[in-house]
Amino acid sequence: MIVTIDGVAASGKSSVASGVARALNIPYLSSGLLYRAATWAALEHGLTLDTPQAGRTLAQLLTGWEERGQPLRLRPLTEGNQVWQAERDLTEHLHTARIDAQVSAAAVLPELRDWVNAQLQGLTPPFLAEGRDMGSTVFPQAERKFYLYATPRVRAERRVLERHQDLESVEAALKLRDERDARQSAPALDAVHIDTGSGTLPEIIAQVMSHLPA
């Protein structure tokens, strides 16, 4: 079985995905974490993301690591996904305002999207995949698809608890990222839409579960 949960930034995707995956006793895959890790890799290597050759250069960096036996890999742990490169856990570097600000520029590069999609499509179901285009593009065959949304203010109130910034700047950054991510964020036509602004986390998880086979 494949279940997809897509949605806008800070819509609660990861927490809901983790809770649902736990209830179903299957792993969840955070596609966003792979985009964040590739962005981190690009910044570490001084790659400029807004040049015509950026996608090819980033893909070469990632495949170069692969060829040297030091691939960037998602570890889909149910309690929270991690990304490792060889023996190094990169996860703690990936949820920063710096990566938030740059990740959309990397995520529009077709070469990076192909790389992330290949990583995910190489994994064996059952799993729950979480991101922007999991139901529409990467796993169109998924049995159940969900799309989570909430107002920018609700999302900013959530994210401000994780970032050392004021509410207004967090909200402005989220709106900017919504715009930049719009192209790859259209919900799958057959997704169930859920407003995560009204209800507690356990209630939203229960709402998702009510649409899944017992």
Measured distance CA(150)–CA(19) in Å, rounded: 18
Minimum CB distance to ligand CDP smaller for 154 or for 214: 154
Instruction: Report the residue closest to ligand CDP, judged by CB.
Output: 32
Minimum CB distance to ligand CDP smaller for 24 or for 83: 83
Residue numbers at the binding site for ligand CDP (CB under 6 A): 9-10, 13-14, 31-33, 35-36, 103-104, 107, 131-134, 177, 181, 184
Q: 3-class SS at 6? A: strand
Partners of 128 in the beta sheet?
A: 3, 28
Minimum CB–partner distance for residue 32 and ligand CDP (Å): 2
Minimum CB–partner distance for residue 164 and ligand CDP (Å): 16
Sheet strands (E) in the chain: 2-7, 28-30, 72-75, 82-85, 88-89, 127-131, 144-149, 192-195
Name the DSSP letter for residue 119.
Answer: H
Minimum CB–partner distance for residue 10 and ligand CDP (Å): 5
Structure tokens of 26? 């299957």
Minimum CB–partner distance for residue 68 and ligand CDP (Å): 26
Minimum CB distance to ligand CDP smaller for 133 or for 171: 133
Minimum CB–partner distance for residue 69 and ligand CDP (Å): 27
CA dihedral 170, 181, 43, 95 (to 10 degrees): 40
Minimum CB distance to ligand CDP smaller for 11 or for 24: 11
Minimum CB distance to ligand CDP smaller for 57 or for 119: 119
Minimum CB distance to ligand CDP smaller for 70 or for 102: 102
Strand order in the sheet with 2-7: 28-30, 127-131, 2-7, 144-149, 192-195
Minimum CB–partner distance for residue 105 and ligand CDP (Å): 8
The DSSP H or E segment spanning 103 is helix 97-107
